[in-house]
C-alpha cells in the first residue's frame, strides 16, 4: 500500500512539473490573432468594414484634436486575388511623428486615450493596429503608411509595417523620407485585406453616410470597387467643442474601483482623496460621505478596507452630488443633429424632423455620459416596415449587433402607439415611416465587446435613452396632432368657401339680387384665427420665412406671436417689421399683433441667412394673449419666454361666453 502511494505521489509530481513546463505568457497580439472575432473580424464583409471604420475614426479624432475641419478620402480597390482588397484612407490631420509611426500602427494596446477621462472615438489603442495585424495575417502583405506633420520645413515619411505577434512589436521596412506634393500635413494608410464588399445596411457606404450625419463638420469622399465616387460634403464649418480630461465622477462607482483608486492615490488622507481625485466632491460633501460611512477623514486611503469602501459607496448613493461636468463630453447638439439629418436624408423628402433632444449629463460606473435622440418622419420613408434605427456612440455608427444593444432595447420598451407609430403588442421595434437616431456620448462607452458594436444595457443608461426618446416622440406627436387639426380645418374651410358662395350665387340669381358680402358669414362659421406658415429657400444659405394671420372670427383680435430662431442666422429683415417687439439671448422672438379686424389678414416675413438657416421649422410657432382654442396653426406659448414688458390683453379676456358654443361646433364639424 505504501509503495503504491509513493508511486502515485511521484507520478502526480511528474505530471505537475510537465504541465508547468508548458505554461507560458502570450502577448496581447497573439491572443487577438487567435480571437479575431472579439475585435469584429469574424466575417469577410464585416472585416472589410471594421478596418475602414478604425482608420476613419482615428482620422476624425486627430483632425478635431488639432482643430482642423476633417477631409477624409476612402478608396476600396478589388485586387486580382480572390476576395482581396486594397484599402486606402487619407486625412488632412496633424500627421504623426516619424518615431511614433511604428508603434501607432504596429503595436496593440498602444495609445493616448485609454486612461484619459474624456470623450473620444478611440479608447483602447487596439483599432488601427488590429486592422494592420488582420491585413498581415489574411494577405501576408505589410501595411504602407505615409505621414507629414505641420511645418514648412518638415518632410513626409513613409514605411511598410508588419506586426510580430509573438512580441507585439512592429517590424518596419522601406522606411524613407519623401516630398509629399500638395500635402501640408496629414496621414495616409494603405493595407491589403481579405474581405467581401457588400451593399445595404451594413455596407461601407452606409457606415460613411451615417458618419456624415453625426459629423456634419466633416467632408468625406468615397470611391467604391467599381470606381464610383460619392462625396458627403460638410454641412457646417463649426467644429465640435474639444472635450477636456476630467477626474472620475463618484456616481455609480463600484467597490473594486474605489479600492483601486484608494491604493493608487497620492493623497495623504481619505478626505483629501475624495476632494482631489474625484469630480464634484466639495469639503461639505466629502465630510457628509465619510460621516455616513463612519470613516475617519484623516485615515490613510491605503488603509481603507473592503467594508470601508462598501460603506462609502452606499453613502455616495445617499448624498446629493452635482451632475458630472459636461466639458469632458462633446455631444452633437440639437441643431447639428437636425442639420446632419437634413443634409444627408434630404433625398427622402421627409415631412418632419422632430426637434432633437439632448439630455443632461449622468454617470455610470463613474463615467459621465450624455444621450441624444432625434426622429425623422414621413416623406418617402417606407411606412409598412420597421422603423430604421441609427445607433451612434461617440459619433461612431454602430452597424452590427443591433438586437444586443441598449439603444435597441430602450426603443423597444417605449410605447410608440401613444406617439402615432404602429407597435404590435405594445413592445418591440415600431413600424411606420420613421427613422430614429440615438447617440451616446461618454468618456468610456460601455461596449459589449472590444469590437465596439453594441452598447451594454446598464440600467442608468437605458433609462436615459428611454427618456430622450419619449421627449423626442412628444415633439413628433405634437406636430402630427397640429397637422391633423390643420388639415381638418383646411378641408372645412375649402368646403365653406365653395359651398356658401355657390348657394348665395344661386339664391341671388333666383331673386335677381346682387351677391352679398359673405366674409363675415364665413368668419362666423370658421371662428378661428388662422396662422399660415411658409418657407422658401434661396440658394444654400438663405431661408425666407412668412407667417400670414387670418382673422376668421367676428371680433377684433390682439395676440402675441412667438418663435425660436437660430440667432446666428437672423438679419435686419426681422427687426424692420413694425410688429416686431424683441429678441432675447436665446433667439426667442416676439411680434405683437393688435386690432386684427374680422375677415382681415396680416403678413409677417423675414430672412434667415447662414448655414443653419434651413434647420428652422416654421411650424414651431406659438401664440399668447388669446385663447389657443381659437387659433389654428400655432400652439399656446409654453412657459414664460416672451419678451418682458409685452402686455397683451383682450377686453373679454379670451373667448366670450357667446363664442364657447361656436368653438365646440367648429371642433365637432372638424371631427366629422
Q: Is residue 531 part of a domain?
A: yes
pLDDT at 464: 93
How many domains would you assign to the chain? Answer: 4
346 and 311 fall within a common domain: no
Tell me, what CATH number does 286's domain have? 1.10.8.50
Q: Is residue 500 part of a domain?
A: no
pLDDT at 30: 61
Q: How far apart are CA 648 and CA 594, in angstroms?
A: 8
pLDDT at 661: 36
Those residues with Cβ within 8 angstroms of residue 22's Cβ, 6 or more apart along the chain or in another chain: none
pLDDT digits (tens, 9 = 90+) for 370-384: 899 999 998 889 888
Q: Is residue 623 part of a domain?
A: yes
Q: Is residue 18 part of a domain?
A: no
pLDDT digits (tens, 9 = 90+) for 344-361: 887 788 888 888 888 888
pLDDT at 109: 66
87 and 198 fall within a common domain: yes
The grid cell for 602 is 396680416
- Give the chain's mean pLDDT: 83
pLDDT at 667: 36
pLDDT at 287: 92
pLDDT digits (tens, 9 = 90+) for 103-133: 888 887 655 444 445 566 655 446 788 888 8
Q: How far apart are CA 307 and CA 304, in angstroms?
A: 8
pLDDT at 230: 95
Q: Determine which of 12-21, 75-84, 307-316, 381-390 has the lowest per-residue pLDDT on average.
A: 12-21
Q: Is the pLDDT of residue 656 over 60?
A: no
pLDDT digits (tens, 9 = 90+) for 577-598: 889 998 888 889 999 999 999 8
Domain that holds residue 87: 32-232
pLDDT digits (tens, 9 = 90+) for 473-503: 998 898 888 888 777 777 777 777 777 778 8
Q: Is the pLDDT of residue 228 over 60?
A: yes
Q: Identify the band that residue 251 occupies on the pLDDT scale cut at 50, 70 and 90.
A: confident
Tell me, what CATH number does 185's domain have? 3.30.565.10
122 and 193 fall within a common domain: yes
The pTM of this model reads 0.76
pLDDT digits (tens, 9 = 90+) for 632-655: 888 888 765 555 445 544 444 444
Q: Is residue 669 part of a domain?
A: no
Q: Is residue 227 part of a domain?
A: yes
Q: Determine which of 126-130, 341-345, 567-571, 625-629 has the lowest per-residue pLDDT on average.
A: 126-130
Tell me, what CATH number does 607's domain have? 2.60.40.1170
Q: Is residue 8 part of a domain?
A: no
Q: What is the DSSP string of 537-579?
A: EETTTEEEEEEEEEEESSS-EEEEEEEE--GGGB-HHHHTSTT
Q: Identify the band that residue 387 occupies on the pLDDT scale cut at 50, 70 and 90.
A: very high
Q: Is residue 493 part of a domain?
A: no
Those residues with Cβ within 8 angstroms of residue 524's Cβ, 6 or more apart along the chain or in another chain: 553, 554, 662
pLDDT at 31: 62
Amino acid at each position: 500500500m505504501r509503495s503504491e502511494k509513493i508511486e502515485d505521489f511521484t507520478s502526480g509530481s511528474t505530471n505537475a512539473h510537465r504541465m508547468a513546463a508548458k505554461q507560458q505568457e502570450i502577448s496581447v497580439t497573439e491572443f487577438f490573432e487567435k480571437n479575431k472575432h472579439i475585435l469584429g473580424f469574424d466575417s469577410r464583409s464585416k472585416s472589410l468594414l471594421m478596418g475602414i471604420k478604425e482608420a476613419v475614426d482615428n482620422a476624425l479624432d486627430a483632425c478635431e484634436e488639432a482643430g482642423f475641419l476633417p477631409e477624409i478620402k476612402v478608396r476600396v480597390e478589388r485586387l486580382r486575388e480572390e476576395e482581396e482588397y486594397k484599402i486606402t484612407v487619407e486625412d488632412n490631420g496633424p500627421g504623426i511623428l516619424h518615431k511614433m509611426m511604428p508603434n501607432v500602427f504596429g503595436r496593440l494596446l498602444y495609445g493616448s486615450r485609454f486612461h484619459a477621462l474624456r470623450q473620444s472615438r478611440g479608447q483602447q489603442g487596439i483599432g488601427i493596429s488590429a486592422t494592420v495585424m488582420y491585413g498581415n495575417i489574411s494577405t501576408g502583405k505589410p501595411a504602407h503608411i505615409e505621414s507629414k506633420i505641420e511645418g514648412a520645413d518638415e518632410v513626409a515619411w513613409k514605411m511598410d509595417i508588419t506586426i510580430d505577434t509573438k512580441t507585439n512589436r512592429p517590424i518596419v521596412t522601406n522606411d524613407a523620407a519623401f516630398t509629399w506634393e500638395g500635402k501640408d500635413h496629414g496621414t495616409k494608410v494603405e493595407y491589403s485585406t481579405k474581405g467581401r464588399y457588400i451593399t445595404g445596411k451594413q455596407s461601407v457606404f452606409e457606415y460613411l453616410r451615417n458618419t456624415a450625419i453625426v459629423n456634419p463638420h466633416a467632408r468625406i469622399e468615397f470611391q467604391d470597387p467599381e470606381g464610383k465616387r460619392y462625396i458627403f460634403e460638410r454641412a457646417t464649418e463649426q467644429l465640435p467643442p474639444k472635450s477636456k480630461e476630467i477626474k472620475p465622477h463618484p456616481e455609480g462607482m463600484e467597490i473594486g474601483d474605489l479600492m483601486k483608486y484608494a491604493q493608487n492615490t497620492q493623497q495623504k488622507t481619505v478626505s483629501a482623496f475624495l476632494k482631489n481625485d474625484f469630480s464634484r466632491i466639495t469639503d461639505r460633501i466629502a465630510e457628509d460621505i465619510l460621516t455616513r460611512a463612519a470613516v475617519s477623514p484623516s485615515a490613510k486611503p491605503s488603509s481603507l478596507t473592503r467594508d470601508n469602501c462598501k460603506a462609502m459607496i452606499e453613502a455616495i448613493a445617499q448624498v446629493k452630488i452635482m451632475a458630472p461636468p459636461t466639458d469632458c463630453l462633446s455631444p452633437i447638439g440639437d441643431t447639428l443633429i437636425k442639420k446632419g439629418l437634413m443634409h444627408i436624408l434630404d433625398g427622402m423628402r421627409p415631412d418632419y424632423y422632430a426637434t432633437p433632444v439632448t439630455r443632461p449629463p449622468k454617470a455610470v460606473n463613474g463615467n459621465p455620459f450624455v444621450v441624444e435622440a432625434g426622429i425623422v418622419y414621413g416623406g418617402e420613408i417606407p411606412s409598412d416596415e420597421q422603423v430604421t434605427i441609427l445607433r451612434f456612440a461617440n459619433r461612431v455608427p454602430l452597424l452590427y449587433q443591433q438586437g444586443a444593444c441598449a439603444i435597441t432595447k430602450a426603443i423597444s420598451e417605449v410605447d410608440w402607439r401613444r406617439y402615432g407609430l404602429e407597435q404590435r403588442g405594445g413592445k418591440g421595434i415600431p413600424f411606420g415611416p420613421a427613422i430614429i437616431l440615438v447617440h451616446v456620448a461618454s468618456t468610456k462607452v460601455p461596449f459589449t465587446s472590444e469590437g465596439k458594436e453594441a452598447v451594454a444595457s446598464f440600467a442608468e443608461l437605458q433609462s436615459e435613452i428611454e427618456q430622450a426618446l419619449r421627449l423626442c416622440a412628444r415633439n413628433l406627436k405634437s406636430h402630427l396632432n397640429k397637422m391633423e387639426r390643420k388639415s381638418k380645418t383646411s378641408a372645412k374651410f375649402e368646403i365653406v368657401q365653395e359651398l356658401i358662395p355657390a348657394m348665395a350665387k344661386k339664391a341671388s340669381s333666383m331673386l335677381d339680387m346682387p351677391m352679398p358680402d359673405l366674409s363675415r358669414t364665413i368668419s362666423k362659421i370658421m371662428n378661428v384665427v388662422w396662422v399660415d406658415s411658409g418657407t422658401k429657400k434661396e440658394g444654400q444659405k438663405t431661408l425666407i420665412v412668412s407667417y400670414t394671420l387670418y382673422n376668421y372670427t367676428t371680433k377684433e383680435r390682439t395676440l402675441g406671436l412667438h418663435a425660436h430662431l437660430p440667432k446666428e442666422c437672423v438679419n435686419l429683415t426681422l427687426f424692420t417689421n413694425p410688429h416686431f417687439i424683441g429678441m432675447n439671448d436665446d433667439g426667442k422672438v416676439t411680434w405683437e399683433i393688435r386690432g386684427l379686424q374680422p375677415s382681415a389678414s396680416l403678413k409677417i416675413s423675414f430672412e434667415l441667412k447662414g448655414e443653419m438657416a434651413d434647420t428652422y421649422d416654421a411650424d414651431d410657432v406659438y401664440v399668447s394673449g388669446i385663447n389657443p382654442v381659437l387659433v389654428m396653426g400655432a400652439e399656446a406659448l409654453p412657459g414664460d419666454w416672451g419678451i418682458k414688458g409685452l402686455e397683451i390683453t383682450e377686453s373679454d379676456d379670451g373667448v366670450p361666453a357667446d363664442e364657447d358654443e361656436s368653438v365646440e361646433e367648429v371642433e365637432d364639424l372638424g371631427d366629422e
